[in-house]
Amino acid sequence: MNITTRKRALALAAFGAASALVLAGCADAPEETTGGGDGADNSDFVACMVSDFGGFEDGSFNESAYAGLLQAEDELGVTIRETESTSEDEYVPNVNALVGEDCGIIIGVGFALANAVRDSARENEDVNYAIIDSALSEDDFTPLALDNVKPVLYDTAQAAFLAGYLAAGVSETGVVGTFGGNPFPSVTIFMEGYAQGVEAYNEAKGADVQVLGTDSFVGNFEDISAGQTLSEQLIAQGADVIMPVAGPVGQGTGIAALASDDVRVIGVDTDWYANPTHDEYKSLLLTSVEKSLQLTVFETIEAALAGEFDATTYVGTLENEGVTISDFHDQASAVSDELAAELDELRAQIESGDLVITTEGTPSA
- Whether the pLDDT of residue 124 is over 60: the answer is yes
| 278 and 258 assigned to the same domain | yes
87 and 171 housed in the same domain? no
Instruction: Please list the residues that pair with 283 across neighbouring strands.
Output: none
**Same-domain status, 196 and 343:** yes
Same domain, 241 and 194: yes
148's CB contacts (< 8 A; 6+ apart) are: 121, 124, 125, 126, 127, 128, 129, 309, 311
Contact status, residue 69 vs residue 109, Cβ threshold 8 Å:
no
pLDDT tens readout for residues 23-45:
233 334 445 544 454 557 899 99
Q: Is residue 121 domain-shared with residue 87, that is, in the same domain? A: yes
- The CATH number of the domain holding residue 145 is 3.40.50.2300
Q: What is the pLDDT of residues 236-272, one digit of tens each?
A: 999 999 999 999 999 999 999 999 989 999 999 999 9
Residue 85 lies in a domain: yes
User: Which range has highest mean pLDDT (1-5, 23-27, 52-56, 197-201)?
Assistant: 197-201
Q: Please give the residue range of the domain that contains residue 144.
A: 3-154+294-315
In the chain, the percentage of residues whose pLDDT exceeds 90 is 82
Task: State how many domains the chain has.
Answer: 2
Q: Same domain, yes or no, for 44 and 120? A: yes
Q: How far apart are CA 28 and CA 178, in angstroms?
A: 38
DSSP string for residues in 224-245: HHHHHHHHHHHHHTT--EEEEE
pLDDT of residue 349: 98
Task: Identify whether the C-beta of residue 250 lies closer than 8 Å to the C-beta of residue 223.
Answer: no
Question: Which residues touch 254 (CB under 8 Å, ≥6 apart)?
Answer: 265, 278, 280, 281, 284
Please indicate, yes or no, whether residues 49 and 96 belong to a single structural domain of this protein.
yes
pLDDT tens digits, residue range 190-231?
Answer: 999 999 999 999 999 999 999 999 999 999 998 999 999 999
Residue 136 lies in a domain: yes
Q: Residue 325: inside a domain, yes or no?
A: no
Residue 269 lies in a domain: yes
Is 149 strand, coil or helix? Answer: strand
| Domain identity same for 150 and 161 | no
Same domain membership, residue 189 and residue 270:
yes
Considering only CA atoms, which of 260, 265, 269 is closest in space to residue 287?
Answer: 265
Q: Is residue 320 part of a domain?
A: no
pTM: 0.86
